[in-house]
Amino acid sequence: MNQLSAHEPSLCTLSGPSAPNVSKLLKLNCIVNDWINATVLVDSGAACCFVSRAFVRANSLELLQGADYNITLADNSTTRTNEIVSLTLHFCNIKFTMTAIVIDALACGDIILGINFLKCFNPTIDWKKSTIDIDINNYTPAPHDNMSTSDIVLASFHVIPSSSNSSPRTPDTTVQSEEHRIKLVSRRTMKSLLKDNTTVPLCSIYLLPTSTDSTSTSNVPLQSVQIMSGLNSKYDDTAANTAKHSYNEHEQRIHVEFKDIFETMPPGLPPKREHDHAIELIPGSQPPAKSAYRLSLTELDELRKQLDKLLANGLIRASKSAFGAPMLFVKKKDGSMRMCIDYRDLNSITIKNRYPLPRVDELLDRLSGAKYFSKLDLQSGYYQIRMKEEDIHKTAFRTRYGSFEFLVLPFGLTNAPSTFMQMMQDIMKPYLDRFVISFLDDILIYSNTLEQHQQHVREVLQTLREHKLYVKQSKCELFKNQVEFLGFNIGRDGLSMVDEKIQAIISWPTPTNVKQLRSFLGLAG
């Protein structure tokens, strides 16, 4: 017997004016889909199970198309919907899968369990104590179009080469639900998992009617059979290597728990810190000032867009400074243009900050024996550090549309890496070389066990949250067995140089002077 304690019993209705006849509802806590906390209401007055649209959106649940439903609300008004979701609910030691109708007007919880749930489990409700007793042996499957106890026949996998035809034979292989976990993937998920022109496995799944006297039919109700999203295990490695946005269970929980620091940086300035950037000039130096470089029409259009964005976000302002550096554009790998300020003259009269950057080989030595890795990349790292007020005017740059100066740390200043590195080292000091290594805006978390790694990731993200630092979700990798970090593939079996770096070394021209030799040695490590 499993007893669910119903905390905070209350009078609840669907949103809208109060209804004259209101049922007393039991409000419970449960886990949905193994990782989402939800508030569930048990309501004998509801004909079926409902879930709020806000809950579906907040947790990115996949909407399915069902039949058209006309729903009468508590105030006797009606609404219409055809959207449903499949949910796995976990109460104490009871776990079951159900289909819920998505509805906007749900005011006092995330999910409503209606009369169909109560008929299935036939629980004993003590209204005085606000408890529900559920005996799993009392479970009776409710008749439903989408529920049956049919066995599933899984066809064999066949790979069809490109530009060829094939008619795979599908053998009769019955899969018993209690012996196998069947993995399915939706078309939308498959599209996000695989790159173009990738060979994929194919399978066919059929439902066979089960005779009443069959001895092979599983006694486990369909609700307890979990259909997991993913590819067959034979192809899991391919999917993992090509999936940039397919998140595992632990990663999903982290994204929800620390949603605020995975979001886009809010407009405005970062908080003032002791690491705000200063520009200390050699005594007697004169402010360097150069005319703006000539730009093409395309570059001028791009310049206007980027200036408008920087101004709107409060990162730059108009300037009347005696300082003035020219700017230019550099093309990125993806074809977009990066605005660069030519601060070479300013850098030549700046007193250098000799704060040391860590040696990459020493950082990597710390990873021996680690089995779990997470990589974090800060959003526009330098822009998360303010300029000291008295040095803002020194960052001025000149353009076709006027002079501007940075309120945050711009790219191109000679001491920018030292300032950023010092801030990250100070913030991560409690964790450095224990389970964190950091190089500028890249953070790597490493652990020996999954339990340790879950704790380590949370500690690091909580520290970033406390210092109001934001990470770029698209460049982060969490709970991986292998990641790419500082030009190396790092995993349980050791490390190896990434292919791009190997190719760059192979194709590097033969050095002919000391400067070229130093450049090559720096690349080769």
Q: Give the span between the Cα atoms of 204 and 507, in whole angstroms.
A: 47
Per-residue pLDDT, 418: 92
Residues 525 and 361 sit within 8 Å (Cβ to Cβ)? yes
Strand blocks (E) in 55-120? 64-72, 78-91, 94-103, 111-113
| Residue whose token pair is 């803002």 | 392
Residues 307 and 423 sit within 8 Å (Cβ to Cβ)? no
Per-residue pLDDT, 227: 30
Per-residue pLDDT, 196: 61
Outline which parts of the chain fall under CATH 2.40.70.10.
Answer: 2-138
Per-residue pLDDT, 223: 34
DSSP code of residue 438:
E
432 vs 123, which has greater pLDDT? Answer: 432
% of the chain with per-residue pLDDT over 90: 28
367 backbone φψ class: left, alpha, beta (φ>0; ψ -120 to 50): alpha
Q: Give the span between the Cα atoms of 179 and 218, in whole angstroms.
A: 10
Residues 91 and 134 sit within 8 Å (Cβ to Cβ)? yes
Collapsed DSSP state (helix, strand, coil) of residue 339: strand
pLDDT band at 136 (very low <50, low <70, confident <90, very high): low
CATH topology of domain 297-492: Alpha-Beta Plaits (3.30.70)
Tokens of 308: 């408008």
pLDDT band at 184 (very low <50, low <70, confident <90, very high): low
Outline which parts of the chain fall under CATH 3.30.70.270.
Answer: 297-492
* CATH superfamily to which 2-138 belongs: Acid Proteases (2.40.70.10)
Half-sphere exposure of 171 (CA within 13 A, CB side): 6
Which ranges of 9-133 would DSSP assign to H, the alpha helix?
A: 53-58, 115-121
pLDDT band at 210 (very low <50, low <70, confident <90, very high): very low
> CA Rg, the chain, in Å?
30
pLDDT surpassing 90 at residue 457: yes
* pTM over the 0.75 mark: no
Strand blocks (E) in 155-225? 174-175, 183-184, 205-208
Highest mean pLDDT among 18-32, 67-81, 478-492: 478-492
Q: Pairing mode, if any, of strands 494-497 and 488-491?
A: antiparallel
